[in-house]
Amino acid sequence: MSIPLKHFKKGSIKPTLPEDDVLRFYSMRFCPFSHRVALLLAAKQLPHHKVYIDLIEKPEWYTEYSPLGKVPALQLTHVAGQPALVESLIIAAYLDEQYPQRPLFSQDPLQKALDKILIERFAGVVSAVYPVLTCNPNAPPDALQNFEKALDVFEQELIKRGTRYFGGEQIGIVDYMIWPWFERFPSLKYNTEQGYELDAKRFQNLLKWRELLAQDETVKATATDVQLHVKFQQSKLQGKPNYDIAFQQQ
């Protein structure tokens, strides 16, 4: 039984999925928060069904799994009542504890807490760059300046830790939780008038980290080409976000 390769919209019929106890992953193809969960599922090599949701015209039935209509959502079909989890970090924490192969959260309670705090601080990076990253014509003039200031925290943290990854010598939860945006940042070169790129000197450690993480097999397995990100953002700028553009390119 195959699920149509499309984003389900308002008025669509809920897809029929097999009762096989396999995880059901509700996503949007270009959503960085959904990308977080995709990375965890790939890192843990967990079988799952993907169902894509149109975030502008959300199907009515989707609130059964995500009351606020947000993605990602993960339905636990192997659990009594088949509950669904929402919020990317909550889902990541559940998957890491439930499936201990290749652990990503630190086993040290203090380090685990510090890593969660660092991930929460990345919200400042996201909120600053979001208007520019999504080609919003009303983006604040100092958006990129605020973005760089927020990103300085992560450059300095990488220096402080003195390791290849935020997780140490092996990739950890912080690495995967912030990676989706680093995959998308290069699209700024094509979607900004000044052809913006991260300053090679100011962010030299983060750029080395980005190159290193891009070689990870899990990252490769979930990657989307920068030109596809650019095309999607341009469709949003035109007022008609084409969620299915990734499938049309195949």
DSSP count for the chain of H helices, then E strands: 10, 5
> Residue 225 contacts by C-beta under 8 Å, 6 or more apart in sequence?
none
> Which candidate, 15, 39, 13, places its Cα nearest to that of 175?
39
How many CB atoms within 10 Å of residue 202?
13
DSSP string, 8-52: E-TTPPPPP---S--EEEEE-TT-HHHHHHHHHHHHTT--EEEEE
What amino acid occupies position 152? D
- Measured between its terminal Cα atoms, the distance across the chain in Å is 21
Could you say which DSSP state residue 86 is in? E
- On whether the CB atoms of residues 177 and 87 are closer than 8 A, the answer is no
What amino acid occupies position 148? E
Annotated catalytic residue, options 31, 37, 74, 178: 31
Active site residue 31: yes
**Which active-site residues does the annotation give?**
31
